[in-house]
């Protein structure tokens, strides 16, 4: 009970932090909060002969000219700072002189509405008494200035401008690239490892998210008409949210009503996208259409909260990363609700979802990556286990030496890489008859241990028959193999074999076929066997 209460408290605190962060972004965009002594805040102007109050925001496709008058400006480095001004192309004139421009002047086919503007103005362009500022805006649908124009010293706004530029341009581009990389990673990896193929759905949603986030960057020239571009990015948003929800319904193995709702959301969002593409390629009409369909964003976000909440409640001992994912959605919710409200009510306020949305995506992606890492570790362990079991199946259970299965596996490479020696324990049958099989088995174990201790890492000991062993010597000539076998033979003879508190003198015979003497393992083995026969005919038993 306390555990559940603690999770609810944490989510409530995250919700409060989200509201606080929205207030901080509002403060960042509000020029009246800038502390500067000799600055001017321009709050009123004229548009088409009528007085205009800043902030304002309305539909006005085409070319719009806004006029503002102000008095003398006293500062060393005068600059005009506009945190957010809606329009596809912007040009600023002071007393008839062009101060600066942003966007594509040839047409309205550019994307710059989320770009903060800062124009450094030469002091020589200012009049001593009255100054006239004109702002020319070309727009496809809406125009607006969301905060009083700041005209004052550059040093007072430098930090704020750099921060807004970083948030709206550089960071946004980083988000887009990262989401594309993660998206393709999640699409390809499940098929490469043949696990969690439903994650390709989440990967596709990440790529669509990245396409949507392009709407928040600065693009001087769009390769598509603005209305068609808007249809694409908005449809990407709708479908990506639905795919995201569907992917996590599969991820959490919800095969009941949650999965059905996810499919319904996907079908509904696809239909909404078709409706959006069916309207005329007019930016105003497109905007009015998507404002009516934005309810689907609410539904998708509420659905995501519900499936993560259900997962958390069902998990019992919940993973921390799952709690983080749930709270990332809780953090995003106020942003979505506020921004959709701003868009629906046509309010002259900036939208902030682009700041919080990547937090959700990256935490969700972290959950997936964490699971992929866990799966990868399990696969590695399974491969090691399979390799161990395979090696165990190729070992002689009595002596621990390799068996004939190992020979069958590497027989093709033996003639070129290994010299083969067949070892036969002298008089072993008579030893078993006299002392019993228990001592005979002990002798074989001790001999195997001696062989292994005197060979190199790349050499192998194979129990080939009852008392017959193969020793495979890696890249060893006949003469070198002879030296190695003689050294082992002397070691066995000098150090008597101890079994059951008894000492036995043991000897063996061997025959060597060096690498390259035959083309196949069978021929190499016959050659070694014939030389063993010759050696045994000259040797006594135990």
Structural domain includes residue 130: yes
Residues 377 and 415 placed together within one structural domain of the fold: no
CB half-sphere exposure, 196, CA atoms < 13 A: 23
Return the CATH number at 486: 3.30.70.270
pLDDT value for 134: 95
Residues 129 and 195 in one domain: no
Q: Is the peptide bond before 55 cis (omega within 30 degrees of 0)?
A: yes
Residue 366 has pLDDT above 90, yes or no: no
- Do 85 and 122 have their domain in common? yes
pTM of the model: 0.68
Locate the DSSP E strands across 29-174: 40-42, 44-47, 50-53, 56-59, 62-70, 78-82, 85-86, 89-94, 97-103, 117-120, 131-139, 142-145, 149-153
Q: Is residue 167 part of a domain?
A: no
Q: How far is CA 127 from the centre of its chain?
A: 56
Residues 248, 378 share a domain: yes
Asked, for residue 371, whether it belongs to a domain, the answer is yes
Q: Are residues 367 and 458 in the same domain?
A: no
Does 231 have pLDDT greater than 60? yes
Contacts with 139 (C-beta within 8 Å, 6 or more apart), sequence order: 60, 61, 62, 64, 86, 87, 88, 89, 108
Tell me, yes or no, whether 369 and 451 share the same domain.
no
Residue 492 lies in a domain: yes
Query: Would you say residue 395 lies in a domain?
Result: no
Residues 316-337 have a mean pLDDT of: 77
Evaluate whether residue 391 is within a structural domain: no
pLDDT value of residue 2: 44
pLDDT tens digits, one per residue of 291-326: 788 778 878 878 887 887 787 777 655 567 777 877
Last residue within a domain, chosen from 382, 414, 445 = 382
pLDDT band (50, 70, 90) for residue 254: confident
Q: Are residues 139 and 187 in the same domain?
A: no
Q: Are residues 227 and 144 in the same domain?
A: no
50 and 147 inside one domain = yes
Answer yes or no: do 492 and 369 share one domain.
Answer: no
Give yes or no: residues 288 and 203 share one domain: yes
426: exposed, middle or buried (C-beta count within 10 Å: 0-12, 13-18, 19+)? middle
Residue span of the structural domain in which 451 resides: 404-536
Does 396 reside within a domain? no
Domains: count for the chain? 3
Q: Do the domain assignments include residue 387?
A: no
- Number of Cβ atoms within 10 Å of the Cβ of 105: 14
Based on the fold, state whether residues 244 and 206 are members of the same structural domain: yes
Among 331, 350, 382, give the residue marking a domain's end. Answer: 382
């Amino acid at each position: 009970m306390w555990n559940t209460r603690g999770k609810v408290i944490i989510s409530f605190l995250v919700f409060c932090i989200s509201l606080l962060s929205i207030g901080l972004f509002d403060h960042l965009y509000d020029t009246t909060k800038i502390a500067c002594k000799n600055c001017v805040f321009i709050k009123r102007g004229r548009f088409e002969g009528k007085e205009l109050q800043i902030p304002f925001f309305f539909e006005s496709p085409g070319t719009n000219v806004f006029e503002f008058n102000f008095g003398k400006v006293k500062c060393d480095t005068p600059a005009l700072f506009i945190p957010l001004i809606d329009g596809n192309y912007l040009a600023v004139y002071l007393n008839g002189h062009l101060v600066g421009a942003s966007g594509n002047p040839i047409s309205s086919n550019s994307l710059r509405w989320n770009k903060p503007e800062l124009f450094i103005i030469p002091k020589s362009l200012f009049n001593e008494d009255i100054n006239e500022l004109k702002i020319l805006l070309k727009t496809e649908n809406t125009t607006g200035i969301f905060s009083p124009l700041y005209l004052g010293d550059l040093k007072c706004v430098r930090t704020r401008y750099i921060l807004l530029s970083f948030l709206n341009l550089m960071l946004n581009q980083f988000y887009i690239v990262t989401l594309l990389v993660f998206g393709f990673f999640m699409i390809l990896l499940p098929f490469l490892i043949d696990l969690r193929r439903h994650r390709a759905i989440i990967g596709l949603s990440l790529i669509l998210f990245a396409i949507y986030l392009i709407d928040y960057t600065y693009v001087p020239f769009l390769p598509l008409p603005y209305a068609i571009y808007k249809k694409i990015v908005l449809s990407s948003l709708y479908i990506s949210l639905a795919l995201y929800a569907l992917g996590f319904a599969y991820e959490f193995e919800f095969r009941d009503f949650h999965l059905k709702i996810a499919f319904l959301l996907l079908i509904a969002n696809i239909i909404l996208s078709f409706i959006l593409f069916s309207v005329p390629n007019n930016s105003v009409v497109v905007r009015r259409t998507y404002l009516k369909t934005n309810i689907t964003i609410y539904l998708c976000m509420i659905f995501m909260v519900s499936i993560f909440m259900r997962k958390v409640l069902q998990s019992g001992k919940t993973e921390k990363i799952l709690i983080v994912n749930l709270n990332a959605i809780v953090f995003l919710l106020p942003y979505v609700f506020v921004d959709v409200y701003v868009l629906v009510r046509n309010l002259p306020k900036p939208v902030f979802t682009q700041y919080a949305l990547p937090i959700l995506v990256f935490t969700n992606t972290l959950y997936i990556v964490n699971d992929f890492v866990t799966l990868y570790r399990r696969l590695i362990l399974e491969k090691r286990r399979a390799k161990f079991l395979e090696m165990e199946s190729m070992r002689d259970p009595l002596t621990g030496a390799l068996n004939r299965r190992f020979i069958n596996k590497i027989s093709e490479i033996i003639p070129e890489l290994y010299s083969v020696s067949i070892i036969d324990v002298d008089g072993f049958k008579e030893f078993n008859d006299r002392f019993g099989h228990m001592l005979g088995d002990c002798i074989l174990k001790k001999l195997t241990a001696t062989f292994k201790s005197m060979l190199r890492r790349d050499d192998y000991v194979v129990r080939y028959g009852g008392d017959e062993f193969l020793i495979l010597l890696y890249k060893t000539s006949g003469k070198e193999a002879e030296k190695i076998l003689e050294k082992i033979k002397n070691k066995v003879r000098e150090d008597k074999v101890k079994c059951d508190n008894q000492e036995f003198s043991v000897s063996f015979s061997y025959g060597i076929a060096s690498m390259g003497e035959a083309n196949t393992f069978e021929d190499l083995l016959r050659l070694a066997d014939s030389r063993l026969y010759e050696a045994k005919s000259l040797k006594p038993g135990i």
